[in-house]
Structure 1
Amino acid sequence: MTGPRTVSRRAPGKLFIAGEYAVLEPGHPAILVAVDREVTATVSTGGDTDAVVESDLCIGPTRLRRHDGGFVGIDDGDRSRVQHDLSHVVSAIEVVDALLTERGQSLPAVHVSISSRLHRDGVKFGLGSSGAVTVATVTAVAACAGMDLSPDERFRLSMLATGAGSSGGDLAASAWGGWIAYQAPDRAAVRDMALRDGIGRAMCAPWPGFAVRMLPPPRDLTLEVGWTGQPAKTSVLAGRLRSRGLPQPSFLARSDERVRAAIHALDHGDDDALLSEVRGARQVLADLDDDFGLGIFTAKLTALCAAAEAIGAAAKPSGAGGGDCGIALLDAAAATDVVRLREQWAEAGVLPLPIRVQPTKGSEA
């Protein structure tokens, strides 16, 4: 690579349609969509510091230096921002740097700028901002180093940059776009593969449990999204699940049945069946919440679902629950129902978000 270079890449956020929590286990399916709100990563080469990161999520630039095969903050302020605000950005830079090193290349000094439309006043909407940040950064840094990544390569590099606690569903939605059926890989096996064989070989090898497939959108349904205004941390809720010895086989089987039936409905253009399966997926989550007190259904998420059901829509929390967003699917031609739903959500303290599904980006894996 010769001379300074600047590239920008975008990655969309996500919403879960069905399969939350079960998807944490390798090989268990979920349905997700990519949304038309994105994270943009702009990467420039040059400068006298190994890496500089700027983000609208924190104040001021963060300067990084290479250390022990990774990147660390130069001073205490830099290190604090890396730990609390920029860990996903730094991990994304590190995984591309490691791949280049395996190939006998080196990542030049880079300036990485991150801007996000998945927040409001620094508060997350629950649209998979961490995953979108990771995918956008991996893609932009790789492009700046002369590597144009396929959707599969974007996902795999991003997954290798992410901790084992993440299902990777947000990464897949960001990498492929549109409606997708997704199954998580065995993250421990993938991590061991990368440590043993290197990142390049791990990217090309089969990943146990992993599958992704593009799905056709519903024929005549529209997706409405409501934000509770209560940020939720997926890792905390997933930690509660693990501490109770969950998910249990019975929950996984019930979730899988609903998700696979919803996939079948989408494949065959059966909107009524899809609505039924989304309602069933909500009940599976509600039973899990009732049995183990995870805190999935807050008062606002319960009100969001009730308002949707009152007009014949199918609704549920999207993601881990405990706040963040809920979704509703209803007849796209019923404009008065959409208006009524948004009004009732607003009365319940739920903010309707003007969000649409982002089209598919690339071919399936």
Structure 2
Amino acid sequence: MTPRRTVVRRAPGKLFVAGEYAVVEPGTPAILVAVDREVTVTVSEATGADTVVSTDLGPRTRTPHVSAAIDTVGRLLTEHGLPAPPLHLSISSQLHERGRKFGLGSSGAVTVATISAAAAFCGLALSHDHLFRLALLTTARIDPNGSGGDLAASTWGGWIAYRSPDRAFALDLARRNGVGEALRTEWPGLDVRRLPPPEGLALEVGWTGTPASTTSLVSDLHRRTWRCSAAHREFVTAATDLVGAATAALERGDGPHLLHQIRRARHQLARLDDQVGLGIFTTELTALCDVAESVGGAAKPSGAGGGDCGIALLDAEAPRDARHVRERWAAAGVRPLTIRPATQRIEESSA
């Protein structure tokens, strides 16, 4: 008996470095980094008439992302005049622990890996750009407020500068003219480019132990009249400025200036929290930041806050400082995670 062909795709999780909340506005920049923990999706032919999904992602993970990803690939296959066969998907994740997520973009990673694996199994070759666009069309149907930054990090890997597209435009284009046309047409606001890693600085990650819902926090902000206020415009302007300055610092290898911009990003998020009362900063996240700054580093919540992870950039030549930070984090209820940047997108394989 000939063994069934299988296709395996892996997509890394992500951390926001700067630009949270503001990046949901089309064309507004952010900096993200992919991490060396990933979601793995293995696709083979289903034995029955229906697609079957087995996963260790846990009950709190939103399985609609997997179903929606399969549906998006099916729409593209139909446009190409190709059949959409029933599939067997096996999904495993390093972005969870006993069903609890770390806040590393698991929904985005599983979307990217599922689309990549299902498309490859069905004979569709996707560029990075087309894979990202398919993933964003998928997630925007579930949550139109999501920026897509997590998808970009999972697709390209490494450190990236990202500007979010007009998701309403992309969804409407796909609905009117088809998915294929949406892949070929320029999306207003969209830009993704690679950045060099920070020179002389080491990334440290702490987990608060409390899962947070990015979708709920961003949706809560969208429901408030604050988004139509002068304070909102000031926040977006300030975020755009500091992300631009941080991007320039990365590109010229200026570690001290990058640290300054990360501190600015922390204070901008704290100001937003004070104005709107979203609960971005928890006791643990505040302690995470204060401890890192006490040794000359810079730190902030990564992503929407309210729990999940925080990041710190510390002097790479001062390992004693890093040990000190990890010890004090642990004493404050913050668990240091062994996470490093993923230098490139996780390799692909098939059998």
For the criterion TM > 0.5, the same-fold answer is yes
Shift of 1:148: 2.7
Tell me, yes or no, if structure 1 residue 7 matches structure 2 residue 10. no
Equivalent residue, structure 2, for 1:152: 129
Counterpart CA distance in 2 for 1:41 and 1:19 is 29
* Aligned residue type for 1:5: R
Shift of 1:204: 1.1
Fraction of identical pairs, as percent: 59
> Pairwise mapping of residues 168-317 of structure 1 onto structure 2 (< 5 A)?
168-247=148-227, 248-317=232-301
Counterpart CA distance in 1 for 2:317 and 2:266 is 24
DSSP-derived class of the 1:33 partner: strand
Equivalent residue, structure 2, for 1:356: 340
Equivalent residue, structure 1, for 2:349: none
Larger CA deviation: 253-262 vs 160-169: 160-169
Specify whether residues 236 and 57 from structure 1 end up closer, same or farther in structure 2 by C-alpha distance, changes over 3 A only. same
* Aligned residue type for 2:290: A
Please, what is the CA RMSD of the aligned residues?
1.5
Equivalent residue, structure 1, for 2:38: 38
DSSP-derived class of the 1:149 partner: coil
Equivalent residue, structure 2, for 1:167: 147
> Is 1:4–1:46's contact at 8 Å kept on the other side of the alignment?
no
Shift of 1:5: 2.1
> Pairwise mapping of residues 114-125 of structure 1 onto structure 2 (< 5 A)?
114-125=91-102
Tell me, yes or no, if structure 1 residue 139 matches structure 2 residue 116. yes
> Is 1:224–1:327's contact at 8 Å kept on the other side of the alignment?
yes
Counterpart CA distance in 1 for 2:46 and 2:328 is 52
Shift of 1:85: 3.6
Deviation per residue, 1:75-119 (Å, 9 max, x gap): xxxxxx9xx741000011000010000000012121011100000
Counterpart CA distance in 2 for 1:253 and 1:194 is 31
Deviation per residue, 1:187-217 (Å, 9 max, x gap): 0000000011100110111001100010011
* Aligned residue type for 1:301: L
Counterpart CA distance in 2 for 1:330 and 1:246 is 34
Specify whether residues 246 and 4 from structure 1 end up closer, same or farther in structure 2 by C-alpha distance, changes over 3 A only. farther
DSSP-derived class of the 1:166 partner: coil
Counterpart CA distance in 2 for 1:20 and 1:49 is 42
Tell me, yes or no, if structure 1 residue 25 matches structure 2 residue 25. yes
- Equivalent residue for 2:77, pick from 89, 93, 100: 100
Count the aligned residue pairs.
338
Shift of 1:57: 2.5
Counterpart CA distance in 1 for 2:111 and 2:226 is 28
Specify whether residues 285 and 85 from structure 1 end up closer, same or farther in structure 2 by C-alpha distance, changes over 3 A only. closer
* Aligned residue type for 1:206: E
Deviation per residue, 1:4-56 (Å, 9 max, x gap): 42111000000000000000110000000000000000000141222001111
Counterpart CA distance in 2 for 1:148 and 1:201 is 16
> Is 1:125–1:231's contact at 8 Å kept on the other side of the alignment?
yes
DSSP-derived class of the 2:38 partner: strand
Shift of 1:267: 0.8
Equivalent residue, structure 2, for 1:86: 63
Deviation per residue, 1:301-351 (Å, 9 max, x gap): 000001111111100000000000000001111010000000000000000
Shift of 1:58: 4.5
Residue segments in structure 1 that go unaligned for 5+ positions in a row: 60-80
Counterpart CA distance in 1 for 2:116 and 2:21 is 27
> Is 2:62–2:107's contact at 8 Å kept on the other side of the alignment?
no
Residue segments in structure 2 that go unaligned for 5+ positions in a row: 347-351
TM-score by length of structure 1 reads 0.90
Shift of 1:3: 8.9
User: Which 4+ stretches in 1 moved above 3 angstroms?
Assistant: none
* Aligned residue type for 2:158: G
> Is 2:46–2:52's contact at 8 Å kept on the other side of the alignment?
no
Counterpart CA distance in 1 for 2:52 and 2:26 is 36
> Is 1:222–1:331's contact at 8 Å kept on the other side of the alignment?
yes
Equivalent residue, structure 2, for 1:68: none
